[in-house]
Amino acid sequence: MADLQYIRNFSIIAHIDHGKSTLADRLLERTGTISKREMREQFLDDMDLEREMGITIKANRATVKHVHNGREHMLNLIDTPGHVDFHYEVSRAMAACEGVLLLVDATQGVQAQTVANAYLAVEANLDIILVINKIDLPSAHPDEVALEVEQILGLAAEDAVYTSAKTGEGLEKLLDAICEKIPPPRGRLDARLRALIYDAKPDPHRGVISHIRVVDGAVKRGDKIRMMAAGREHIVTEVGKYTPKPTTLNTLGAGEVGYLVAGIKTIADVNIGDTITIAQNPAEDQLPGYEPPSQMVFCDFYPGPGTETADLREAMERLWLNDSSFTYDPATSDALGIGFRCGFLGLLHMKIIQERLERESDVNLVQTAPTVTYEIALNDETVVHIQSPSEMPDPSRITEIREPFCTANVIIPAEYIGALMSLALDRRGVHKKTEYLSPTRVMITYEFPLGEIIYDFYDKLKSCTRGYGTVDYEVSEFRGGQLVKMDVLVNGIAVDALSVIVHRDKAARRGRNLITRLKKEIARHMFEIPLQAAIGAKVIARETIKAYRKNVTAKCYGGDVSRKRKLLEKQKEGKKRMKNVGNVEIPQEAFMSILDPGD
């Protein structure tokens, strides 16, 4: 069993694209953990989607060896995602560490997720090594970037380690810094076993593989273990480490990070954050666990053409067993039929789940526009939470509608302050403070209604700051507001999947934009189609799709009747891809048109 003194557990945290996965790859290669021949880009990102999108979604892990001061050290690296949607993965990974590398791009400087992740590390009481990366690039200005970090986070600029993950420059120094500055794990090998499950993944052959950090004691093959919160007991069939390939060991002891296999069939049987102990000789107290991830964004998935509700259910169940970070519950829509209301950590998470469903299970989805949770106070003094405007109780029962707010840190070059101010105003942002990172860059803190920023705020921020702006947010609380439910009537019939909850002051503009978009998405029919946006009985916007005046093929193709019939059949197939509401065919795109705030 390894001597704790020579073990270091650490994560790398960074803003997206600051070179985290490349640095991890280089460390593995440098320490000879994997050969050049085995090397492939983003070794730790083992999901296809991760490699394709160039991002890390799930936290990954590996153990590398480094000789420092003549002694071999075992460095346990836990790679983390950089995107705001996956904060909870970052916090989980951190719970298994004593220190982090805070990686900052020497050409781009401090960005919103740099700050957010650094705060997480400070909260978790971890030691932070500041790493300024990409110093090989001509536009790198590492000294200024180090000063920015000092300014905003209070980490001494002079302690920063300069690296180039691309050329390998500074890596040796970095490995030494890890050994020197990150403390060894404190754990009592002779105490009763306590190991934290910080992640888990299913394996088709061995059952669930739990990723654990052993805090006290040791665990070995053959041990009968107990999950302290769940109360379930299992026999350990394998323990080991990732080097980064899974390598079986006899024992995992206090301070070590590794994996454990114990004949657990489905991932639903493993609670992330649970504490493992030995069944016959259990520890007294559990380790502090995790808050379960909370779903921020909701949308409905309905079966699309060629897919049955049963197929979709099966696909969702299968994916959920692999990744339980999203939720799904049955949902019914007058317009779209029977499907599922799903909850996600954020919009990227939603897109990833949708993509994985379609890819891994070959189902076709019709998706409604994403929305946030609203809290509705009723006049019988109860409170309900709704995840879809269609669940809104009758207005006569409502005393207040509350929406989730978030605190957002936006980092931009100072010259774009004006542009950001007007964007924030448009999104009902409340300015809290402005801090200068350097004479030319600022971090501005706002409070926003979450619903105003989940969809396209990031894109709008990018376009009004020439690509330089970044944002990170954390959801804070529900607040009451002048919110109303706006319904959309197509040919006089309210279409539930098109309803939206909006601020009263913005309702008229949103209504007009929505109706204009819808008019473009819905084709002419044989009759005139009125489109209306309404709050209660009051119509606030109206448009009409004119009936088509001429829709007739001139020729019947001489005697080639079959050909003409096949054209008709094709038209018929086209119709199947649309949803029919009150004789009006509504294409899938129309259901997303409510997202466009139209500015």
**For binding to another protein (CB under 8 A), which residues are involved?**
525-527, 547-556, 558-565, 568-569, 571-572, 575, 583
> How many whole angstroms separate alpha carbon 194 and alpha carbon 58?
24
Least spacing, CB of residue 569 vs another protein, in Å: 8
Contacts for 489 with CB less than 8 Å, ≥ 6 apart: 495, 530, 531, 532, 533, 534
> How many whole angstroms separate alpha carbon 431 and alpha carbon 425?
9
Angle at the Cα of 157 from the Cα atoms of 155 and 160, rounded to 5 degrees: 95
User: Longest C-alpha distance within the chain, in Å?
Assistant: 93
Least spacing, CB of residue 562 vs another protein, in Å: 5
Least spacing, CB of residue 544 vs another protein, in Å: 15
**Locus of tokens 């030319």:** 440
Least spacing, CB of residue 582 vs another protein, in Å: 12
**Locus of tokens 């707010």:** 405
Q: How far is C-alpha 106 from the geometric centre of its chain's CA atoms?
A: 26
Sign of CA dihedral 174, 179, 181, 187: positive
Least spacing, CB of residue 522 vs another protein, in Å: 14
| Backbone dihedral angles phi then psi of residue 36, each to the nearest 5 degrees | -50, -40
Least spacing, CB of residue 495 vs another protein, in Å: 20
* Minimum CB distance to another protein smaller for 47 or for 578: 578
Least spacing, CB of residue 573 vs another protein, in Å: 10
> How many whole angstroms separate alpha carbon 97 and alpha carbon 599?
45
Q: Which of 166, 219, 208 is nearest to 18 (CA)?
A: 166
Least spacing, CB of residue 377 vs another protein, in Å: 45
Q: Judge residue 358's burial from the number of C-beta atoms within 10 Å of its C-beta, 0-12 exposed, 13-18 middle, 19 or more buried.
A: middle
* Minimum CB distance to another protein smaller for 36 or for 550: 550
For 143, 208, 257, the CA distances from 235, given in Å and listed in that order, are: 53, 13, 19
Which pair of tokens denotes residue 397? 């029962």
* Minimum CB distance to another protein smaller for 359 or for 563: 563
